[in-house]
Amino acid sequence: MGCHEVDYEIIGDDMQIVEVELDPDETVIAEAGAMNYMEDGIEFKAKLGDGSDADSGLLGKLFRAGKRVLAQESLFLTHFTNRDTQRRRVAFAAPYPGKIIPVDMSKVNGDLLCQKDAFLCAAYGTRIDIAFTKRFGTGLFGGEGFILERINGDGMVFIHAGGTVIKKELKNETLRVDTGCIVAFEETIDYSIELVGGLKSMLFGGEGLFLATLRGAGTVYLQSLPFSRLADRIISNAPKIGGDQKGEGSILGGLGRLLDGD
């Protein structure tokens, strides 16, 4: 099934939304809870799966939806359809600060592997599935676990990333990346995990024990600020419940941060 051809506009800088314009009877699918606003005439329904398996029956849809649960995603996707006779718009927002990446799937050979929470929305007809990492070590130490999202189709797909987005075009090259900084890559890229080096580097280098190694030819999307890194920083600096930590403006609070090196 060919994907619907949707028009779009990315709005904002660091807290972006994507506004999708739908012709009559066109549909866009999105993660549950991603919708920001929509114009009159847009109808939305929560459905099992992405709609690409319309002829597979209930068991087939449940199986496909169950695989999304393995990837810690919602069981349902929301389908937004323009039921009006004129063009209407619906907008989607990322769940944390960063960038929204528009990807024309026809230009990446129709297949893209993403981190589990990268998918935001896509033109109807796009197939959202899961992919298992090929190596045990990659799944165990790769930061993304054993499961990645596989996106397949020939239309527009929108994924989101934290911080600044870096697009790399590998031409039979090797790129080593912090495991959490990978957003998406073409299936032509070989993905593996390697030790960072000697014992001193592993213990004191501050980069963790493992780096992701990307080899081959194809497109790679990276992010400068993985959400896990941002969350760890917030948690480490959050006031302790029931503790005697002083506020930001206090002298004791300032001395404590000075001793901590903050």
Strand spans (E) along the chain: 7-11, 17-22, 27-31, 35-38, 42-48, 76-82, 88-93, 98-104, 111-114, 119-123, 127-132, 147-152, 156-162, 165-177, 182-186, 190-195, 210-223
**Sheet with 76-82, edge to edge strand ranges:** 42-48, 76-82, 27-31, 119-123, 156-162, 98-104
pLDDT in tens, 117-158: 889 999 999 998 887 655 444 444 444 444 788 899 999 999
Longest pairwise C-alpha distance within the chain: 67
| Burial class (CB within 10 angstroms; exposed 0-12, middle 13-18, buried 19+) of 255 | exposed
Angstrom distance (rounded) from CA 114 to CA 129: 10
Instruction: Please report, to the nearest 10 degrees, the dihedral formed by the alpha carbons of residues 69, 3, 100, 61 taken in order.
Output: -10
Is the domain spanning 7-230 CATH 3.40.50.720? The answer is no
Angstrom distance (rounded) from CA 150 to CA 234: 30
Angstrom distance (rounded) from CA 230 to CA 67: 28
β-pairing verdict for 111-114 and 98-104: unpaired
pLDDT in tens, 14-72: 789 999 999 999 999 999 889 999 999 999 999 877 766 555 555 555 555 555 555 55
Angstrom distance (rounded) from CA 242 to CA 168: 47
pLDDT computed for residue 67 by the predictor: 54
pTM > 0.85: yes or no: no
Tokens for 85, please give them.
């006779």
Question: Given phi > 0 = left and psi -120 to 50 = alpha, else beta, which region is 24?
Answer: beta
* Contact between residue 114 and residue 184 where contact means Cβ atoms under 8 Å apart: yes
* Contact between residue 156 and residue 110 where contact means Cβ atoms under 8 Å apart: no
Mean pLDDT of the chain: 79
- Which stretch, 93-97, 161-165, 168-172, has highest mean pLDDT? 168-172
Cβ neighbours for 149, distance < 8 A, ≥ 6 positions apart: 71, 73, 113, 114, 115, 116, 118, 119, 128, 129, 130, 131
- Which stretch, 92-106, 194-208, 226-240, has highest mean pLDDT? 92-106
Residue extents of the structural domains in the chain: 7-230
The more confidently predicted of residues 61 and 81 is 81
Which among 186, 176, 78 is positioned nearest to 131, based on CA atoms?
186
Q: How confident is the model at residue 228 (pLDDT cuts 50, 70, 90)?
A: confident
DSSP per-residue codes, 159-187 = EEEES-EEEEEEEEEEEEE-GGGEEEEET
**DSSP code for 94:** -
